[in-house]
Amino acid sequence: MGMSPDEIDGVVRRIQGGDRAPFGDLIVEIQRDLRIFVAAHAPSADVVEEIMQASFVTAFESIADYDPRGTFGPWLKGIARNLLRRELHERRRQGRRSGDILDRAVADQCLIDLEEREESDGEMAKLRECLAALPSRQRELIERRYSQQLPLNVLAQQFKRNAAHLSVLLYRIRGILRACLEGKGLEA
Amino acid sequence: MNEQELAEITEAWLTGRLDRPRREALAAAAAADPVLLAQLVTDARLSAHLDSLLGTGDVGNLAERVQQMLDARANRHRRTSCNSGRRQALAPGGRWRAPRWIASIAALLVIATGFALWAGRTDRAPVIGDVLARIAAFESGAVLRRNGGVTPLEIGMSLHAGDEIDASNGSAIVTLTDATEISCPNGSRIALNASDPGMVELRAGVLRADVRPQDVRHPLRFTTPQCEAVVVGTRLELRNGSSRSALLVYDGHVRMAPAGGGVAVDVGAGQFAVASLEFPPRAYGITAQPSGWIDAFVGDGPDLDGWWPVWGAWTRRAGILSGIPASGPIDQDRCRIESLRWYGDLDLTCALRRDDISDCDIQLHDFTWDILLPAGMQPGWHDLHVSCVGEGPPHSTIDGREITAVRTDGKKKASGPIGFYGRGPGRLEVKDLRIRAR
């Protein structure tokens, strides 16, 4: 499992030397940590994907600026943080212009978290614990909903329930997870 | 907004499928209710967390998208930096602005690069495992679903772990490598389990299988969300219905185990069993033996007493079997329930109520006879009596008045299921159902 920071730096040096090929390996290696960080502060899965892509593109284009001292992960997270901050400000602006209270409120909360909360691994660990505590059927539903990104009508076929019923189930399960996270001293 | 509405609208919002009017309604509700707003914000955040935690995080795809973006940028850079000395317009600030024809070529190159990467994906696709099965026959409309793609079926087409045969529009027969034959009638979907070559998933509808003798240490298994059928060698039919599964065994024997664990039941030749997440599987004889009167649907509970809801939603409460018509594209406004047990000669009595059900009939002997209930019946319960002996038409009455039975052209009488059918937006109810096999 996983390259050490020194090994990552070794790959980065090759890229800095003009060998673009290992950049894909670097993405594979580091994307999970970055995804957890971005997701902890992003308003939606779509934004997570956008920021992930943009972060790696920016990192590649700025890779000459990176000083290999075993800190590639934090350096990349810094790029992601800046991109995310810009995106959230933009969404807040748009929310104000359009009067969309939902976008604005979500963006506000994400910005507060981005400025005030650093930790993301611990939050995900707690969420994992809360998921593990769900009854198996509920866990299966939430896993299929989020791991396979299946539309509700497809899930409804798989679970032999109608889509409306599944909406309610998912809604309630998120409620259970919210309560569980609050019990662990966290807000989602 | 009640819980159901809120749940649906929240789900649509979280998945980006909320239309403008409903979005405005949700925003208005959130603006008026700070608790709801906080909950929605939290749900959005939680959803993003779950996406990241549980999502497959299509790493290869992400790397590929990043590479594509870099390629596109590089192409754009090459295109914009190698003009042939022709004077080019400069954008404000002194930056060179590509004329439209160059921009068009660059765009085409980006598309071509993207296409080349996309086309190249097949070369880099994960190695597909062994051939587990082949298509033996099919009716057009049935398709193969593999790795997110859809391919029309071909005779002899090889199937691998993870492949799904979708016979929602058509039908197919699949032969496993040991010559076990699995038939997927119209409306069914089966998949070869991605990690277990001895497991076939029935994802929708019905499958019928003629299973070759299996190694008892590695028997073939058919699964539905509600059960697992472990097969050593037999002819069987497995149905995956709304919240329950039914297994009919014609030869051999099959062990039916609830999907969530619990007591399994051995289903022998000539038996069927029904499993659900709500009640343990129970085996019944398929063919009704001559008996005294047997009461059906007594009391309430999720078990439909060995009956199979074909269309619509059926419940049993306080001794009343109640069917609400379905809303799908094919079964729109129809409800139908049939006995899994087959009856030959029989007597049947029940009370029947139809609320906004225009067409209603009782089907005997696997559709050999249709007993059509007259239109324009008064609301409320009506007593139905049916007696069917020998080759003649069944004698049937409703509230003491004789009603007609229609024979399906050319069909010979044989033992088969009894069905209750209704059409309309309302509800069909049956109570005090008693059957005597003769």
Q: How many helices (H) and strands (E) does chain A have?
A: 9, 0
Distance CA B383, CA B388 (A): 17
Residue B127 token pair: 């190695």
Distance CA B340, CA B286 (A): 7
Distance CA B356, CA B429 (A): 11
Containing B418, the helix (H) or strand (E) segment is: none
Is pLDDT above 70 for A4? Answer: yes
Chain-centre distance for alpha carbon A153: 25
Chain B nearest-CA distance from A84, in A, is 14
β partners of residue B174:
B135, B182
β partners of residue B231:
B220, B254
Contact across the interface for B59 and A28, Cβ inside 8 Å: yes
Distance CA B396, CA B370 (A): 11
**What Rg, from alpha-carbon coordinates, does chain A have?**
19
β partners of residue B171:
B139
With a CB cutoff of 8 Å and minimum separation 6, the contacts of B374 are B398, B403
State the pLDDT at residue A96: 73
Would you mind telling me the total number of residues written for chain B in this entry? 438
A126-141: average pLDDT: 88
Judge if B133-285 and B293-437 fold alike in CATH terms. yes
Q: Three-state SS string across A26-86, please?
A: HHHHHHHHHHHHHHCCCCCHHHHHHHHHHHHHHHHHCHHHCCCCCCHHHHHHHHHHHHHHH
Is pLDDT above 70 for A91? Answer: yes
Best A28, A52, A167 member to test B by mutation, with max B CBs in 10 Å, is A167
**CATH 1.10.3470 correct for A134-188:** no
pTM above 0.95, yes or no: no
Nearest to B361 by CA among B330, B394, B391, B329: B394
With a CB cutoff of 8 Å and minimum separation 6, the contacts of B179 are B212
pLDDT-derived band at A97 (thresholds 50, 70, 90) equals: low
For tokens 């919240």, the residue is B243
Question: A5-133: what fold?
Answer: Rna Polymerase Sigma Factor; Chain: A (1.10.1740)
| Local mean pLDDT, 10-residue blocks, chain B (438 residues) | 84 78 82 85 85 64 76 54 31 32 39 35 34 83 88 84 90 89 91 88 91 78 90 84 85 84 85 85 84 83 83 89 81 85 92 90 85 86 94 91 79 83 91 93
Q: Which of A32, A109, A137 sits opposite B45 (nearest CB)?
A: A109
Distance CA A88, CA B334 (A): 49
Distance CA A102, CA A45 (A): 16
Distance CA B165, CA B150 (A): 10
For tokens 């160059």, the residue is B102
Contact across the interface for A147 and B56, Cβ inside 8 Å: yes
Q: What is the CATH number of domain B133-285?
A: 2.60.120.1440
Per the rule left: phi > 0, alpha: psi between -120 and 50, beta: everything else, A70 is left
CB contacts of A109 in chain B (<8 Å) are 41, 45
Distance CA B212, CA B231 (A): 9
CB contacts of A39 in chain B (<8 Å) are 48-49, 51-53
Containing B339, the helix (H) or strand (E) segment is: strand B334-339
Residue B42 token pair: 């939290």
For tokens 């790696």, the residue is A56
Residue B210 token pair: 């003629």
What ipTM score was computed for the predicted complex, to two decimals?
0.83
Contact across the interface for B51 and A39, Cβ inside 8 Å: yes
**What Rg, from alpha-carbon coordinates, does chain B have?**
29
Nearest to A106 by CA among A117, A98, A97, A95: A95
Nearest to B309 by CA among B328, B323, B297: B323
State the pLDDT at residue B348: 96
Distance CA B227, CA B274 (A): 9
Neighbours of B41 (CB within 10 A): 21
Q: Which of B7, B40, B42 sits opposite A167 (nearest CB)?
A: B7
Domain boundaries, chain A: 5-133, 134-188
Distance CA B286, CA B417 (A): 9
- Mean pLDDT: which of A37-51, A122-136, B333-347 is highest? B333-347
For tokens 């212009």, the residue is A97
Backbone φ and ψ of B342, nearest 5° = -100, 135
Percent of chain A, pLDDT > 90? 15
State the pLDDT at residue B433: 94
Chain B nearest-CA distance from A70, in A, is 22
Per the rule left: phi > 0, alpha: psi between -120 and 50, beta: everything else, B274 is beta
Domain boundaries, chain B: 3-120, 133-285, 293-437
Contact indicator for A141, A159 with CB cutoff of 8 Å = yes
Nearest-Cα residue of chain B relative to residue A54: B66
For domain B293-437, the CATH class is: mainly beta
Distance CA B226, CA B273 (A): 12
Burial A8-45 (b: 16+ CB within 10 A, else e): bbebbeebeeeeeeebbebbebbbeebbbbbbbbbbbb
Amino acid at residue number A158: Q
Amino acid at residue number A148: Q
Distance CA A174, CA A168 (A): 10
